[in-house]
Structure 1
Amino acid sequence: MHSDELVESYRQNGFVVLDEAVSPDEVSELHAAAEQLCRDIGQAPASEPAEDVLRKHLCIHHPHKASAAALAALHAPRVVETLTAVIGPNVKAMQSMLFIKPEGKPGQAWHQDEFFIPTRDRSLTAVWIALDDATVENGCLWVLPGSHRRGVLYPDREQDDLRFDCTVEAFDFPYSDDDAVPVEVPAGSAVIFNGYLLHRSLPNTGRRGLRRALANHYMSAESLLPWQSVPAGVHVGKHDYRDIVMVAGTDPYAYKGIEDRARPHSRPDKDGGCDR
């Protein structure tokens, strides 16, 4: 897909698939990084098999702060080229998440990333990199094409569907499950989607195997990021989360400096936290 076609498809549908976003060698490096992060955070003994170590964790938050491979993926050239085409020349990242979904584990109900990361400028963009072939069977992403275009956040409510491990879901939107499209991608490819796009994932129903993915979030560097708690003495309207990584262009707020607030941590399987 040419750049103009990619941008137009992204604007119309709210997502695009970027083939070979990272190389096979980089996927292997991310596999090794995932194992090492799980071992380090979980203090697993060296003798414990890799799959057993990985299965204890649903998600590693902010892996780019502890893994050179994850940090490199945040800057992947093909990804950054696409981001500058759909966001603009100046792009910052604010988080990374490494998801691990073994067989039998649930997905996450319909939601919009903008609900969790309040940029409000419509530039929030997720890059979901498959580290295993993502299929309907093992819990790939599903999207509602075009659901980003209104630029509104739909209401949320508690839910107890056993297919999903988060208690909150978006609802009362003008789409049905019949409108949903599965986004099956091979390892190394990325699903790039808008922060207002409604999306979900279903359980990994495969007989055995992991479905790993690295999800990174980016936005325009021109906009403030009113995320996380507001420091004492700072007006809410001026709050700008500065634990960021510049991946393209220049930072117009560089005079504020960069903070190091978030720490890499695990969402253990036993906690029943959200997964994708």
Structure 2
Amino acid sequence: MLDFHRDGYAVLPDLLTPAEVEALRAETAALCRGDRGPVDGVTPASPDEPDDDVIRRYLCVHHPHKLSSVMAAAQRHPAVVSVLTNVIGPDVKAMQSMLFVKADGKPGQAWHQDEFFIPTRDRSLTAVWVALDDATVDNGCLWVLPGSHRPGVIYPNREHDDPRWDCTAESYGFPYRDADAVPVEVPAGSAVVFNGYLLHRSLPNTGPRGFRRALVNHYMSASSLLPWGKAPAGGHFAEADYRDVVLVAGTDPYAYKGVEDLSHPGIRPDREGGCDR
């Protein structure tokens, strides 16, 4: 994983078999139809509506592993765990999953660092971005700024009104140019693993009618606290520990705290439905 430590990302070719990719695509349709349970923002589809028409209504489903055993199994996939234990260490927990659909015409996401949104602060935060379609420049693949993770700086964020991006805030004030960015085109079944401090973005899907589906899971060291959310009543933020987690490797030193069910599957806002600002 020399490239990962130097550049902040690496490509894992052929992580999933074609059958595994197809199973995840089928689960994408089932989730967007409401067949796996309630997803905030999803309207159950009629039986005669084609799958493609249903899923193109949405941009991204957050926490699909909560409803889909297939998505949950992918989060703990042996090939993924093997890479994570090499990058993070022997004890690894997951705290989030995101299922991007991004049909033609849907927006991308502006420059950002995952560490800004998921404050692990121990530099163990790692994303595994699994392509369920061939990800190309035309349909909105990932773009990265190689090496931008190395300073360990979390850059400021701001709201924006750029129609190319969804409602997520954008990072700014960093010493890199768009000209330094590299597109990460990967075939379906391959994955991109990247550090939580790496600046990355994706452009809109401007390709012909079709999707750029991707399953993204976030992981960190199970030996570290996760101060995600508000501090406990009467306590300090530094003592907070988000416990809606899944142990995927090793042991959890904080298992005595138990596990909570805090998150619920929901749709990420794009700009068509407004950004609630």
Aligned length: 267
For 1:77 and 1:263, how far apart are their aligned partners in 2?
25
Q: Which residue of 2 aligns with 1:166?
A: 167
Sort the Cα spacing of 1:134 and 1:272 in 2 relative to 1 into closer, same or farther, 3 A: farther
Secondary structure of the structure 2 residue equivalent to 1:217: strand
For 2:165 and 2:218, how far apart are their aligned partners in 1?
22
RMSD: 1.3
Structure number with the higher helix fraction is: 1
Q: Which residue of 1 aligns with 2:255?
A: 254
Find the partner of 1:271 among 256, 270, 273. Answer: 273
Cα deviation code 1:123-169 (max 9, x no counterpart): 00000100000000000000000000011101222322221123521
Deviation at 1:238, TM superposition (A): 0.7
For 1:131 and 1:16, how far apart are their aligned partners in 2?
17
* Contact preservation (8 Å) 1:134, 1:184: yes
Cα deviation code 1:68-95 (max 9, x no counterpart): 1100110111111011001001000001
Q: Does 1:35 align with 2:29?
A: yes
Q: Does 1:13 align with 2:7?
A: yes
Q: Which residue of 1 aligns with 2:219?
A: 218
For 2:172 and 2:264, how far apart are their aligned partners in 1?
32
Matches within 5 A, 1:161-200: 161-166=162-167, 168-200=169-201
Deviation at 1:174, TM superposition (A): 1.3
Deviation at 1:233, TM superposition (A): 3.4
Q: Which residue of 2 aligns with 1:152?
A: 153
Deviation at 1:9, TM superposition (A): 1.2
Secondary structure of the structure 1 residue equivalent to 2:61: strand
For 1:56 and 1:138, how far apart are their aligned partners in 2?
16
Deviation at 1:11, TM superposition (A): 0.7
Sort the Cα spacing of 1:196 and 1:268 in 2 relative to 1 into closer, same or farther, 3 A: closer
For 1:68 and 1:26, how far apart are their aligned partners in 2?
13
Tell me which amino acid in the other structure corresponds to 2:15.
A
* Contact preservation (8 Å) 1:33, 1:67: yes
* Contact preservation (8 Å) 2:230, 2:237: no
Q: Does 1:58 align with 2:59?
A: yes
- Point out 4+ residue stretches in structure 1 off by more than 6 angstroms: none
For 2:234 and 2:23, how far apart are their aligned partners in 1?
43
* Contact preservation (8 Å) 1:26, 1:69: no
Deviation at 1:231, TM superposition (A): 3.6
Name whichever of 15-24 and 261-270 sits farther off. 261-270
Secondary structure of the structure 2 residue equivalent to 1:182: strand
Sort the Cα spacing of 1:57 and 1:67 in 2 relative to 1 into closer, same or farther, 3 A: same
Deviation at 1:263, TM superposition (A): 1.5
Deviation at 1:268, TM superposition (A): 5.6
Sort the Cα spacing of 1:268 and 1:145 in 2 relative to 1 into closer, same or farther, 3 A: closer
Find the partner of 2:20 among 8, 20, 26. Answer: 26
Q: Which residue of 2 aligns with 1:121?
A: 122
> What is the TM-score when the length of structure 2 is the normalising length?
0.93
Q: Which residue of 2 aligns with 1:201?
A: 202
Deviation at 1:38, TM superposition (A): 0.7
Name whichever of 193-202 and 220-229 sits farther off. 220-229
Sort the Cα spacing of 1:203 and 1:61 in 2 relative to 1 into closer, same or farther, 3 A: same
Sort the Cα spacing of 1:63 and 1:136 in 2 relative to 1 into closer, same or farther, 3 A: same
Aligned-residue identity in percent: 67
For 2:175 and 2:7, how far apart are their aligned partners in 1?
15
> What is the TM-score when the length of structure 1 is the normalising length?
0.93
Tell me which amino acid in the other structure corresponds to 2:32.
C
For 1:22 and 1:167, how far apart are their aligned partners in 2?
29
